[in-house]
Amino acid sequence: MAVRANIAGIDSPEALEKALRSAYYLADQGIATAAYLALALGKPLLLEGSPGVGKTEAAKAIAATLGRRLIRLQCYEGIDASAALYEWNYPRQMLAIRQAGDETIDIYGETFLIERPMLAALRAPDSTVLLIDEIDRSDQEFEAFLLEFLSDFQISIPERGTIRATERPVVVLTSNRTRDLHEALRRRCVYHWIDYPTAEREARIVMLRASSVAEATARAIVAAVGKLRREPLSKAPGIAEAVDWAEAATLLNKGGARWPDAFKRSIGVALKDEEDLAFISPRLDALIAEAAA
């Protein structure tokens, strides 16, 4: 395996962290190290974490940093090779056969091949980043299929033969951990568990993402969100929700709502489960007052 210590001018986790920051992504040391190692070792990067901690954002930022195109493959139950890899353009093949008459034609030629994300990434490994999003949503069959792809970076199309990547493509996988992934998959990847950020870092993220939000607002929101995460909710607010909440509250405030009231009225963008809202609403006033203090 080729170890490349320097990728597009990035030669250390710190350099990557700096580059990610200019792509509006604040990485902590853990994720910067994991991402750097994945790039340098030529292994896929597996990011796990609760919903809304910025897994997909990390992949986007890595693509932006490397100046590459992001190819996203959203997983779902029942996803298979024809959606992930390639598909033949059957109607076109049929028409071609009809039109050919006595001439011979190759119906498995390039013109009839529909490229899906994994094939696209394999064919342009030096200019793309492949994001395989929410892998835990796919089924075991697809995971096994993916395993083969991730270990050799080659795919075989029965009608065409084997296609191999000229260099190791950059692959990022994300999982919400709604089920345990296969050990073999974890083993092949560089792994990072994204935790909720510290209050300090999260406030910086909120201000970076939503430029209209004042610092005091960001801090209050982050404190409130931190408290909400400690409650037994069925869906705890992620970073994305914190950003939305801060933006929504700022908007309401500009429209004339007073401060604690603006937080309270926009709670719907942070908590999106009716049961959670009902559970927290008796204590919401106290919670917001405490956070804003």
Partner 1 sequence: VNEVIQLPRAARAFVSFVALLRVNGFAIAPEQTTAFLEAIALLGPRDPEDIRQAGLATLAPPPERRATYDLLFRIHFLGGEEIPSAEGDDEEIIRLQEEGRGDEEPLLADEINESGEMAVRAEALAERRLIPGGPSEPLRRLAREARARLPRRRGHRRMRARRGPWADLRRTLRELTRNDGEVMRLGRLKRRARPRKMLLLIDVSGSMKARSEDNLDLAHTLVQATPNIEVFTFGTRLTRLTRALRLKRREQALAAASHLVSDWDGGTRIGDALQAFLAVPRFGSYARGAAVVILSDGLERGDLSALRDAVAKLSRRAWRLSWLTPLATGASFVPQTEALTAIHRFVDDMADGGSNAAVVAHVLSLRQRRAA
- DSSP assignment of 247-287 equals HHHHHHHHTT--HHHHHHHTGGGT---HHHHHHHHHHHHHH
104 part of the interface to partner 1, by CB under 8 A: no
Local structure of residue 208 (DSSP, 8 states): H
259 part of the interface to partner 1, by CB under 8 A: no
- How many Cβ atoms are within 10 Å of 128's Cβ, its own excluded? 21
Nearer to partner 1, 98 or 256 (CB): 98
- How many Cβ atoms are within 10 Å of 231's Cβ, its own excluded? 13
Q: How many residues touch partner 1 (CB under 8 A)?
A: 51
Distance CA 291, CA 286 (A): 9
Nearer to partner 1, 139 or 261 (CB): 139
Site residues for partner 1, window 142-171 (CB under 8 A)? none
| Residue 244: CB minimum distance to partner 1, A | 19
Site residues for partner 1, window 173-232 (CB under 8 A)? 177-178, 180, 183, 186-193, 195, 232
- Find out whether 116 and 87 touch, Cβ atoms under 8 Å: yes
Burial letters 16-47, b for 16+ CB under 10 A, else e: bbebbbebebbbeeebbbbbbbbbbebbbbbb
CA quadruple 12, 37, 47, 217: dihedral, nearest 10: -10
| Residue 176: CB minimum distance to partner 1, A | 8
Structure tokens, 111: 């013109």
Nearer to partner 1, 110 or 180 (CB): 180
| Residue 79: CB minimum distance to partner 1, A | 8
Pick one of 21, 116, 201, 235: the residue that binds partner 1 (CB under 8 A): 235
Distance CA 89, CA 113 (A): 6
40 part of the interface to partner 1, by CB under 8 A: yes
Nearer to partner 1, 50 or 56 (CB): 50
Query: What distances in angstroms separate CA 206 from CA 76, 195, 216, 256, one per listed residue?
Result: 30, 16, 11, 22
Nearest to 220 by CA among 231, 206, 209, 232: 206
Pick one of 8, 24, 69, 90: the residue that binds partner 1 (CB under 8 A): 90
Nearer to partner 1, 65 or 138 (CB): 138
Pick one of 10, 16, 26, 50: the residue that binds partner 1 (CB under 8 A): 50
93 part of the interface to partner 1, by CB under 8 A: yes
- How many Cβ atoms are within 10 Å of 87's Cβ, its own excluded? 15
94 part of the interface to partner 1, by CB under 8 A: yes
Nearer to partner 1, 30 or 109 (CB): 30
Nearer to partner 1, 8 or 214 (CB): 8
| Residue 214: CB minimum distance to partner 1, A | 31
Please report, as ranges, the residues that interact with partner 1 according to CB under 8 A. 3, 5, 12-13, 29-30, 33-34, 36-38, 40-41, 43, 46, 48, 50, 76-78, 80, 82, 88, 90, 93-94, 97-98, 107, 139-141, 177-178, 180, 183, 186-193, 195, 232-236, 275
